[in-house]
Amino acid sequence: MLQRSDYILGESVNLFEQDFAEYCQTGFAVGVDSGTSGLELALAAFGIGEGDEVITAANTFIATALAISHVGATPVLADIAPETFTIDLAAVEKAITRATRAIIPVHLYGYPVDMEPLMELASRHGLIVIEDASQAHGARSRGKRVGSFGHAAVFSLYPAKNLGAFGDAGVVVTADPDIDQRLRLARNYGSPVKYYHTSKGYNRRLDTLQAAVLRVKLRHLDAWNEARRANAASYDRLLSLAGAVIPPPPAAKHSEAVYHLYVIRGADRDGLQQHLANEGVSTVIHYPIPIHLQPAYADLGHTEGSFPLTEQYAGQVLSLPMYPGLDSGAIERVVASVESFPPALDPTPRTLATTT
C-alpha cells in the first residue's frame, strides 16, 4: 500500500468492502469516514431530507438523531419497549404520520431489534428502514445477520465498537445496487470518473489504512463476539445470585446479541458507580441524558415525561467492564464489588481523595 502510494480508495478499501458485505450477507458495502456520515449519506441516498420525518429510538447515541437533522429531516423519537433496551414497535406505529419516510431501528448495546415484524410494519406503510447497527456487528435476529434486513444498514467502526478501526471509520451495507452507486458517488465528491462530477457529493471516504486494519480485525470478529457472549453469561450467572441490581434483559427470542455493552440497572446508580470507582472498577453510563432532554434538541419541544421508560433507564443504567479479553477472575472481582454495595458504614477509604 505504501509502496504503491495507494492511500485513497485503495485496494484495501475494495477488499474490506467485499469481505464485510459477505460477512453481513448483503450485496454491497461502502466504506465511509464514520458511522454518523454513513447514516447521513444513507438517508440522502433514499432522497430523505427537508420536510420528512424519520422515526428512531429515544434511547440511542445522539449521532442517530444528528444524522437525521443534518439531511434536513426531523427526528421523531419513540420510546423503548418494557424490559428491553430497544425501540417499541407499538410506539413506532403510533409515531407514523403522513410525513414519515423512514425508520432507523438501533440495535443498542448489541441487542438486535426483532427485525421481521418491524420490516412488516414498514412495508405496510411504505417506509424505508435503515438499521443503525453501530453497536451490533455480527449480531443475528432469527438466524440472519443484522444489517441484512433493512433497505440499508450503517455500522460505525469507531475504535471502541465490536469491530473498530484505529481511528474514525464506518460502513454502509445494502442489497440495492442503485443505493450502492449513490453512496459511492456521495462519499467521493459526486465523481463517477476523476474530475467529472454528476452530483454535489462530499469527501466522506473510508481511509485506506483503516480499511487494511479492519480487514484483518474482521477475521477475529466472530471469536471476539463469542468471548463477549461468554463474559455476559458469566456476569448473568454471578449477578443473579447477588440480587442487588437488575441484570440486563435476555436477548429477544430467536436473536443472538453481541454484548457491545453489559448494562445493569440499579436504584442508586450514581452511588453504585462511585462505590465501584472506589473499588477500582471503572464504569460508564450509556447514556446519562436522553436526546429529547439535550439542549441541542430543545427545538423538538419535548419535556421530562415525554419518553418515560427511556428517562427511567437513563437514571438507572450502568455499563460494567465488557471486552473480549476480560477474564473470569476480573468478572468475579467486579461482581464482588457490585455485591458489596451499599458499602458498610464508616468505610476506610481505599483510594486517597485528590485534594488541591
Which letter, b or e, does each residue of 62-95 get, where b requires 16 or more Cβ atoms within 10 Å of its Cβ?
A: bbbbbbbbbbebbbbbbbbbeebbbbbbebbeeb
Give the binding range for ligand PLP (CB under 6 A) out of 30-38, 69-77, 268-276, 333-341.
30-38
Q: Where are the alpha helices (DSSP H) in the chain?
A: 11-24, 35-45, 63-70, 89-95, 115-124, 177-186, 208-218, 221-242, 269-278, 308-316, 328-339
Q: Which of 36, 59, 273, 337 binds ligand PLP (CB under 6 A)?
A: 36
| Residues 64/36, Cβ–Cβ less than 8 Å | no
**Which residues, including other chains, have CB under 8 Å from residue 66's CB and lie 6 or more apart?**
36
Q: How far is the CB of 56 from ligand PLP (least distance, A)?
A: 10
Q: How far is the CB of 118 from ligand PLP (least distance, A)?
A: 16
Tell whether residue 106 is a contact of ligand PLP (CB under 6 A).
yes
> In this complex, which beta carbon is closest to ligand PLP, that of residue 163 or of residue 276?
163
Q: How far is the CB of 30 from ligand PLP (least distance, A)?
A: 14
Tell whether residue 283 is a contact of ligand PLP (CB under 6 A).
no
Q: Which of residues 121-180 bind ligand PLP (CB under 6 A)?
A: 132, 134-135, 156, 158, 168, 170
> In this complex, which beta carbon is closest to ligand PLP, that of residue 104 or of residue 128?
104
Size of residue set near ligand PLP by CB under 6 A = 15
Binding mask 182-211 for ligand PLP (x = CB under 6 A): ------------------------------
Q: How far is the CB of 280 from ligand PLP (least distance, A)?
A: 27
The amino acid that residue 318 corresponds to is L
Q: Which of 13, 41, 63, 320 binds ligand PLP (CB under 6 A)?
A: 63
Q: How far is the CB of 98 from ligand PLP (least distance, A)?
A: 27
**Three-state SS for 158?**
coil
Grid coordinates representing 161 are 465498537
Q: Does the CA dihedral 142-147-149-150 come out positive or negative? A: positive
| Residues 16/214, Cβ–Cβ less than 8 Å | yes
Binding mask 248-277 for ligand PLP (x = CB under 6 A): ------------------------------
Give the binding range for ligand PLP (CB under 6 A) out of 58-66, 179-187, 231-239, 341-349.
58-66
Q: Give dist(CA 338, CA 333) in Å, integer.
A: 9
Q: How far is the CB of 334 from ligand PLP (least distance, A)?
A: 23
Q: How far is the CB of 58 from ligand PLP (least distance, A)?
A: 13
Which is nearest to 311 in space by CA: 294, 324, 325, 327?
294
Which letter, b or e, does each residue of 316-339 get, where b requires 16 or more Cβ atoms within 10 Å of its Cβ?
A: bbbbbbbebebeeeebeebbebbe
Q: Which of 12, 17, 29, 34 binds ligand PLP (CB under 6 A)?
A: 34
Tell whether residue 341 is a contact of ligand PLP (CB under 6 A).
no
Give the binding range for ligand PLP (CB under 6 A) out of 55-63, 91-99, 236-244, 302-310.
55-63
* Closest residue to ligand PLP in the complex (CB): 35
**Three-state SS for 75?**
strand
Tell whether residue 61 is a contact of ligand PLP (CB under 6 A).
yes
Which letter, b or e, does each residue of 99-116 get, where b requires 16 or more Cβ atoms within 10 Å of its Cβ?
A: ebbbbbbbbbbbbbbbbe
The amino acid that residue 134 corresponds to is S
Summarize as ranges the residues that interact with ligand PLP (CB under 6 A). Answer: 34-36, 60-61, 63-64, 106, 132, 134-135, 156, 158, 168, 170
